[in-house]
Structure 1
Amino acid sequence: MTISQNPAPSLAERRTRILDILRFTLDFAGHRKLTRVASSLTFTTVLAIVPMLAVVLALFTAFPLFAEFHKALETFLGESLLPPSVSDTIMRYLNQFAAQASGLTAVGGAFLVVTSILLIMTIDEAFNEIWNVARQRPMRQRLLVYWAIISLGPILVGASLWASSVLARESLGYIGNLPEGLSLLLNLVPFLMSVLGFTALFMFVPNCRVLWRDAALGGLGTAVVLTVMKAGFTAYLTRFPSYTVIYGAFATLPIFLLWIYLSWLVVLMGATVASLLPALRLHRWALQRQIGAQAVDALEILRILWRARSTLPPGRSLGYLEKHLRVHPDALRDMLGALRELGYAVPVADGDQWVLACDPARADIGPLVDRLLIDRAQTELRAGTLEALSLTLQGNPPVLDALFAGDATENRNDDAQY
């Protein structure tokens, strides 16, 4: 017997799929208004960068042991995160401003800390918006995380960079010429630190579960694009010094602002890619646009919860639903939120486990269809038709029990594989 296999996709099909994925990603980025968010983060960064550096400088100054860490961190910021043509000027002014700000009173110091926290809160809100997280962390927990980032983050990064530089110096002193592999690894330390930093940012900032491989791929892509962008930015400023001709000595400021904006745009796009990887991996990037798909998936969720009403513990976890339905976590959270508001299902166990909250023999599907199939944002000319359709659906719709009848025996074996 010959086993038929699906033929490999042709070059045209692959090109079409890649274009569809890129279009889906760009549409998602446009829907989240990433350019506007990048502008907001640029403005907040300009306001908060000096206070944040002042806080970091105060920490390094208070503990002379960290002096070498401060130098390593400053070198990393100047060489890895800024174009060489402006890094020296920017770092010199920032250090001067931070040194002057470190002499403020207690009230002024508190203002610096608050301004630094506001920047991190803006980043937190932007990332949660990208991951479509509706519920923020409690304020106390957020403040603890922010303070840990401000206080411990620079010290840990500076310590790792200092250790790599010390290792390089010691190796040069005792061995002479380093092996090519070790030399390449030491040269890649700043790049690897950027990858780890972005990975941690994408994995821990959103108040939802992010797979480490998705965060790592997003962090790697962000670091690569930033490195390429820095090289291109430097080449442009070197060969086409139009900003210097127009602005003269004042050219550093617009260049710095443009660099911050482009950097934030790249970081936000990296976060967008990391958030969309589950949908791309499940090949749901095209199905999400089909009319009625969300309503069908919501009914499937209710069917799964109905079948699991007698299990121990009752209900199903978010991981189970995501794996069984093969839907993006954002879409799953939206549907579960709608089911909760309509009284069909409720979360238990800190929101990770969901159970059926209605009687299938009495609960009809009218409100569900009304919520997920009827677009209330239509024009006023169609408002009467939409209202009539809504009333018709709520007049004598089938109950859930009628939809689920005879389903338990048919699908009992399906649960065993999950």
Structure 2
Amino acid sequence: LLKGFGAQNVLEPFLLNNLGIGSQDAVAEIFRYIENTQFGRLGAIGLIVLVLTVLALLSNIEKSFNHIWRVQETRTLMRRFADYFSVVLLSPLLILAAVSISTSLQSQTLVLKLLETAYVGEALLLLFKLIPFVVMWAAFIFLYLFMPNTRVRIQAAVIGGMAGGTLWQLLQWGYVHFQVGVGKYNAIYGTMAALPIFIVWLYLSWMIVLLGVELTYAVQNIGTMSQDLGTDKVNFACRQRLALTVLVLTGESFYRGEKAWSRERISEDLKLPPRVVSELLDDMVRLNLMAVLCDEGGECLCYQPGRALDALTVQGLFQELRQDGASYPQNYRLPTRELVGDLEMEMQQAEQGALGALTVQDLVLRRIADKGKEEGKE
């Protein structure tokens, strides 16, 4: 992609001056190889393999980001293609912009004269050093904003992107200087060490990217992060209570014609850890208790009840939650199968007698009526 913009003409002098210390011949050989590379020679099969490889790589990156953000929903195929194309197109252009701006400014006659001026020259040198950092910040911020399949606040993405971009740039500087130093120390062992050093650099680069995602997630959920870290598995009674609460709140907004609830709103209003909310909503969507609302591009935004609330009884809701998951066959022989089965039947009958035909819609209408009375008193 960069070759189509003539990037090799800009990158070659930059690498020869900065990265090719003691290795100018190797750098020149690499660019001769790039110059002889023709995209058209890939053919149809090669092009398909290349596209599938890029899509698979970006898909795995998205899955890793979504795992950190506790997001289970995936983008639609068209949304993936559009977002992945943006990442593939923008990232090389940002790299080219960083190098082009830096090298072009340093070659200008006026800039060269200003470099000889006190204070101004020092400021320009500092600017030249900051340009790669700024571009990497922009690349990381863009990645953290658009790659997770959820809404990421700009402030959180900026903090995570600047931290990740800075660490990655420092790692790049250390990798280049260490690689060159090893090559100078011993030509034979320096060449043998190139591959393991590159693998370590690749591993650390990926760790930095994920660390930036974790930081972005922590900044956006700073209010409930301490709860999230100290939260164990939610017990069943709490799960029932939260599921009914979420259905009543989202049902009320649905009946009033108000905006649907997002994960973030549920977490903030109920003071719940994001992990608990994500796991609960994912289970409720799987049971068709909740429905996910997506925009035209396939991005999942908000949630609303997945069934008619007048047909969903509270007792039926609790029973579905209890029966969620794997179960032994009914004919599984237990020593106390009849005794436990009879007791379970009595409990269900008692619950049915206490709750009767009470539906979730009844609770929603009761809540709306109670709020109307409170507003009337005021």
- TM-score by structure 2 length? 0.70
Deviation at 1:362?
4.7
TM alignment of 1:300-311, pairs within 5 A: 300-311=245-256
Quickly say closer, same or farther: Cα 1:400–1:315, change in 2 above 3 A.
Answer: farther
**Which residue of 2 is the match for residue 355 of structure 1?**
304
2:228 aligned partner: 285
Closer, same or farther in 2 for the Cα pair 1:374/1:156, shift >3 Å?
Answer: closer
SS in 1 for 2:314: coil
Determine the C-alpha separation between the residues in 2 that align with 1:373 and 1:325. Answer: 26
Distance in 2, Cα, partners of 1:169 & 1:391: 85
One-letter amino acid of the structure 1 residue matched with residue 99 of structure 2: L
Taking the TM superposition and a 5 Å limit, the aligned residue runs for 1:56-75 are 56-57=2-3, 59-61=4-6, 66=7, 68-71=9-12
Once the two structures are aligned, what percentage of the paired residues are identical? 20
Q: How does 1:4-403 map to 2 (within 5 A)?
A: 55-57=1-3, 59-61=4-6, 66=7, 68-71=9-12, 95=31, 97-102=33-38, 104-107=41-44, 110=47, 111-170=49-108, 171-175=110-114, 176-177=116-117, 178-230=120-172, 247=189, 249-283=191-225, 284-286=227-229, 288-289=231-232, 291-292=234-235, 293-313=238-258, 315-318=260-263, 320-327=265-272, 331-348=276-293, 350=295, 351-356=300-305, 357-359=307-309, 362-365=312-315, 367-368=317-318, 371=321, 396=351, 398=355, 399=358, 401=360
The answer for unaligned runs of 5 or more in structure 2 is none
Q: Is the CA contact (8 Å cut-off) linking 1:203 and 1:211 kept in structure 2?
A: yes
Give, in angstroms, the shift of residue 255 of structure 1.
1.0
Question: In structure 1, what is the Cα distance between the partners aligned to 2:28 and 2:291?
Answer: 56
Once residues 219 and 180 of structure 1 are traced to their aligned partners in structure 2, the CA distance between those partners, rounded to angstroms, is 27
Evaluate the alpha carbon distance shift between residue 109 and residue 271 of structure 1 in structure 2; reply closer, same or farther with a 3 A threshold: same
Contact residue 68 and residue 217 of structure 2 kept, 8 A: yes
Distance in 2 (CA, whole Å) between partners of 1:190 and 1:143 is 28
Local SS of the residue matching 2:209:
helix
Deviation of 1:317 (Å): 4.7
Q: Relative to 1, partners in 2 of residues 1:369 and 1:403: Cα closer, same or farther, differing over 3 Å?
A: farther
Q: How far apart are residue 90 of structure 1 and its match?
A: 8.0
Contact 1:199 1:216 in 2 (8 A): yes
| Higher mean displacement: 96-105 or 334-343 | 96-105
- Partners of 2:73 and 2:84 lie apart in 1 by 17
The match for 1:51 is: none
Determine the C-alpha separation between the residues in 2 that align with 1:328 and 1:89: 56
The residue number in structure 2 matching 1:7 is none
RMSD of aligned residue pairs (Cα, Å): 4.6
Structure 1 residue 203: Cα displacement: 0.8
Cα distance, 1:205 vs structure 2: 1.3
* Structure 1: gaps of 5 or more residues: 1-54
2-structure distance, mates of 1:200, 1:301: 33
Instruction: Report the TM-score, using the length of structure 1 for normalisation.
Output: 0.64
Indicate conservation of the 8 Å contact 1:367/1:394, yes or no: no
Distance in 1, matches of 2:163 and 2:62, equals 20
Change (3 A) 1:183 1:280: same
State the 1:100 CA deviation: 4.8
Matched-pair contact (CA < 8 Å) for 1:73–1:154: no
Deviates more, 1:340-349 or 1:295-304: 340-349
SS at match of 2:303: strand
Q: For 2:171 and 2:374, how far apart are their aligned partners in 1?
A: 49
| Contact 2:2–2:96 (CA under 8 A) maintained in structure 1 | no
| 3-state SS in 2 of match to 1:280 | coil
How many aligned residue pairs are there? 347
- Cα offset, 1:261, TM superposition: 1.2
**For residues 19-67 of structure 1, what are the alpha-carbon distances to aligned partners after superposition, in whole Å with 9 as ceiling and x for unaligned?**
xxxxxxxxxxxxxxxxxxxxxxxxxxxxxxxxxxxx433x235xxxx55
Q: Hey, what's the Cα distance between the residues in 1 that align with 2:246 and 2:23?
A: 53
Distance 2:144 2:314 in 1: 40
Q: 1:325 to 1:74 in 2, by over 3 A?
A: farther
Distance in 1, Cα, partners of 2:179 & 2:5: 34
For the residues of structure 1 that align with 2:167 and 2:63, how far apart are their CA atoms?
Answer: 23
Distance 2:304 2:195 in 1: 56
- Indicate conservation of the 8 Å contact 2:262/2:302, yes or no: yes
Flag the 1:112–1:406 CA change in 2: closer, same or farther, 3 A.
Answer: closer
- AA aligned to 1:206 is P
Verify the 8 A CA contact 2:150 2:301 in the aligned structure 1: no
